[in-house]
Amino acid sequence: MPDRSDAKAKPTSNTTPATTAQGAPAGYGDAQRGTGGELHQVAGGTHAPLTTNQGAPIADNQNSLKANPRGPTLLEDFILREKITHFDHERIPERIVHARGTAAHGYFELTESLAQFTTASILTEVGVKTPVFARFSTVAGGAGSVDTPRDVRGFAVKFYTKEGNWDLVGNNIPVFFIQDAIKFPDVVHAVKMEPDRGFPQSATAHDTFWDFISLTPESMHMVMWIMSDRTIPRSLRMIEGFGVHSFRLLDDQGRSTFVKFHWRPKLGLQSTVWDEAVKIAGADPDFHRRDMFNAIQSGNFPEWELGVQLFTEADAAKFPFDHLDATKIIPEETVPLKIIGRMVLDRWPDNFFAETEQVAFCPANIVRGIDFSNDPLLLGRLFSYLDTQLLRLGGPNFNQIPVNAPKCPFANHQRDGHMQMQQPKGRVAYEPNSLSDDSPREAPDLGLRHALVPEQGDKGRIRPETFADHYSQARLFYRSQTRAEQAHIASALVFELSKVEHVHVRERMVAHLLNIDPDLGGRVADGLALDQVPEPLPTAAPVQDLPPSPALQIIGKMKDTLQGREIGILVADGSDGATVEAIRQAASAAGATVKIVAPKVGGAVLADGSKLPADGQLAGTPSVMFDAVAVVLSADGAAMLAQESAALDFVCFAYAHLKAIAVDAGGDALLAHARLAPDQGIVSASDPDRFITAAKTRQWDREPQVRMLA
């Protein structure tokens, strides 16, 4: 395969001549040209030199030491190791990121073999059910934060294969903020609560995050994803998952093929709207965790398909981007997705702490037939995850915790250490040896192998020029969205930047957005009421107009289903039981879960005198908990609830959050009292089929009537 390690690159130097960025905010002195030609705004003033903990000045804090511009990261990079080691050990025992998690047991079943590409049995043996443990998490918040902030969701799966554990550790977004692992402590420090005040918790809407992002052009693609509806999901069962990086598959001849891994939810994608996500956090901080638990307990097991994108080095050479850059995707229109298996989660952990909290994932955990690429973010992660777990879980024997232990035989000469639970026997604890006939030995025929890849070029803290385009894929993502989704991105940016106190940070972000899309930048500038729209920032590479990718949408990919969704029916004394039952049956037949909401948790006495038990009390079960609602009331019931703010909120928020609403005469009276205008999403409760059709989607045409979008 052709080697691209001679790609042009510019070594970083702290003596690089400074140039003034066009449109730079007043008071923000020079713009220094950094690696790959990108521009970084540097605040004016005198600064102490950045040093290691030993006092050695650091010339380049942007790039890890690599064998060549596109080559592997070197173990000798003591600056990278010191920085990440300190970062990994900042907090105990809670995870630094991904602290708030939800997990479940299940299995993975291969449906199509990749035997021509890999020797990994997990990817070659069709029909075998391999045990898995999958953990989903928010990134920024602590373990006690809420489930529904605007945040990336972690998506990590541990496969207990017969050849050892394989951990596929990714997110619900296929790209990341940074290109090099040396910047990971910086981006996390920026997004975490500000250290002088301890807030905000689990939020990006604050100065330190946007200050860092606005000085880091490589983050612009990720910004489009986190400001999209991808980061406010309806359910963890309705998110995609991505391995993020390029990996390698190795066949029995040692030949390699690049691969990217994708998880696709059986229920399809679905998100909330921002106001709804905020209100869910108040109504039920454990909304996603409870949803996953209830689904598994009821037998509606969450399921995902596993897909792969396979490509060669020759294929990669034709891409208008570098696949080793973790801020880039490979559009499905360029390399189609091949579905090869499915994951089903069918068992909740017996003990949350023992499993969900103590599980340790590491991207370095691979099996024979899988290997790494030279992605510099991935290579830093191989060190960071293990280093963190040594501290968080008390020492080197964390792999003996049952949730972390392989389910296949394992043996080595590692001994002792804190919390050693095994009792190895015998005199020998080394290899090779001649004193034992049954001690473990290396196994050349069975063991892990790595791709034989020639490396050449100059060693240094260098980022390749192929990493320099920071805006083209951000533009691709934005322009691939539906009009409603574009409005949500612009509105999210306005909301977040409105929380930023420093005007120059807002202006600098708008200058970036203008490079992504002039309309987007203008909408955000108008939403912020900037006195003057800044000039676009200089770019290190020309911004390309790439073909749109509809696969990047959510609205355009929503499935025509109510599987996994919940319908709430609001009743009171005197409600018509036949109408309630007709809606319940229609919704259940469509795959939805139906819950009855009444003013009192004991239920309501229906018009025929029977008692209908309630699943939730009105004041504690708002409409934000449901995907669509029905309001079935008598005239007296409607008059009574018209005096109850929780009832008015129930219908007003359902309307504002673009949900279908079924009403009978009493329900219609309550809507009239709430001054809600009829539209196509408000249907007669006597027509359950029409209600079910409307409930399968949001009423997007209603949105301009209920909120001001950027």
Looking at 400, 420, 449, the residue that finishes a domain is 400
Identify the CATH number of the domain in which residue 669 sits: 3.40.50.880
Q: What is the mean pLDDT of residues 182-190?
A: 97
Looking at 347, 379, 400, the residue that finishes a domain is 400
CA distances from 361 to 449, 459, 501 (A): 21, 31, 37
The answer to whether 659 and 629 are in contact (CB under 8 A) is yes
87: confidence class by pLDDT, cuts 50, 70, 90: confident
Task: Tell me, yes or no, whether 464 lies in a domain.
Answer: no
Identify the CATH number of the domain in which residue 370 sits: 2.40.180.10
Q: What is the pLDDT of residues 123-168, one digit of tens each?
A: 999 999 999 999 999 999 999 999 999 999 999 999 999 999 999 9
Query: Which of residues 421 and 521 earns the better pLDDT score?
Result: 521
Task: Tell me, yes or no, whether 447 lies in a domain.
Answer: no
**Which CB contacts under 8 angstroms, 24+ apart, belong to 37-44?**
37/10, 37/465, 37/468, 37/540, 37/541, 38/217, 38/218, 38/468, 38/470, 38/540, 39/217, 39/537, 39/538, 39/540, 40/215, 40/216, 40/217, 41/214, 41/215, 41/508, 42/18
Both 551 and 611 in one domain: the answer is no
Helix (H, G, I), strand (E, B) or coil at 42: coil
Q: Average pLDDT of the chain?
A: 91
* Residue 491 scores a pLDDT above 90: yes
Predicted pLDDT of residue 444: 83
- The angle formed by the CA atoms of residues 597, 603 and 605, to the nearest 5 degrees, is 120
The per-residue b/e assignment along 618-654, b for 16 or more CB within 10 angstroms, e otherwise, is bbebbbbbbbbbbbbbbeebbebbeeeebbbbbbbbb
**Which CB contacts under 8 angstroms, 24+ apart, belong to 579-584?**
579/632, 579/664, 579/685, 579/686, 580/606, 580/612, 580/630, 580/632, 582/685, 582/688, 583/630, 583/632, 583/662, 583/685, 583/688, 583/691
Both 640 and 664 in one domain: the answer is yes
Which uninterrupted H or E stretch holds 99? none
Q: What is the pLDDT of residues 427-439, one digit of tens each?
A: 998 889 899 888 8
What single-letter amino acid sits at 150?
A: R
CA distances from 63 to 178, 210, 378, 384, 470 (A): 10, 21, 13, 16, 16
Residue 592 in tokens? 């939805």
Q: What is the pLDDT of residues 431-471, one digit of tens each?
A: 898 998 888 888 888 888 899 999 999 999 999 999 999 99
The answer to whether 597 and 614 are in contact (CB under 8 A) is yes
For the chain, what is the domain count?
3
Task: Tell me, yes or no, whether 6 lies in a domain.
Answer: no
Predicted pLDDT of residue 347: 98
Task: Tell me, yes or no, whether 47 lies in a domain.
Answer: no
**Residue 144 and residue 288: Cα distance in Å, rounded?**
14
Q: What is the pLDDT of residues 317-326, one digit of tens each?
A: 999 999 999 9
Predicted pLDDT of residue 20: 30
Taking the CA atoms of 537, 543, 545 and 547 in sequence, report the sign of the dihedral they define.
Answer: negative
Which of 6-15, 180-189, 654-663, 685-694 comes out lowest in average pLDDT? Answer: 6-15
- Residues catalogued as catalytic: 98, 171
Q: What is the pLDDT of residues 527-560, one digit of tens each?
A: 999 999 999 999 999 999 999 999 999 999 999 9
Both 540 and 576 in one domain: the answer is no
Predicted pLDDT of residue 49: 84
Which uninterrupted H or E stretch holds 376? helix 376-392
Structural domain span for residue 680: 562-706
Task: Tell me, yes or no, whether 43 lies in a domain.
Answer: no
Looking at 400, 415, 440, the residue that finishes a domain is 400
285: confidence class by pLDDT, cuts 50, 70, 90: very high
